[in-house]
Amino acid sequence: MAERKIRVLVAKPGLDGHDRGAKVIAASLRDAGMEVIYTGLHQTPEKIATTALQEDVDVVALSILSGAHMTLFPRVLELLRENGMDDVLVTGGGIIPQEDMDALQELGVGRLFGPGTVTGDAAAYIRDWFEENRMDEDG
């Protein structure tokens, strides 16, 4: 029986118009064998949570360069929880100061990645998380 692919939603919330990094990460995760859904630019937290639910994803990866990470990450996390998706990993990256990364992780956000991160590090983190938290759910 083939191993189930990890389903990752890569999203660009808010008004930030720079999506090069999100596209690079999406391609890297695909190359690592994951199934990736990319939402495109200017997504609302509500749209991201709805898409995550509809696509039955394991991971939501947000790319935020606008400085709104302390609003957008918690809102997406809140909406996922309201939809019974407490077991979905919320991760991501962007220009996020370490103290904000720490505060977001205290709220339940997973590891966050900054500029210059090796793309394989994000894929390895997601794979490790999946093996620890989701592997046995689908047999």
Residue-wise pLDDT tens digits, 40-63: 999 999 999 999 999 999 999 999
d(CA 26, CA 34): 9
Average pLDDT of the segment spanning 111-131 = 95
Q: Look up residue 129 and give its two tokens.
A: 């998380």
Q: How far is CA 96 from CA 73, 85, 137, in A?
A: 11, 25, 32
Kindly tell me if the per-residue pLDDT of 1 is higher than 80: no
Let me know: does 97 contact 61? Beta carbons within 8 Å. no
Per-residue burial over 95-105, b if 16 or more Cβ lie within 10 Å, else e, is ebeeeebebbe
Which residue type is seen at 107? Answer: L
> Domains in the chain, please, with CATH?
7-138 (3.40.50.280)
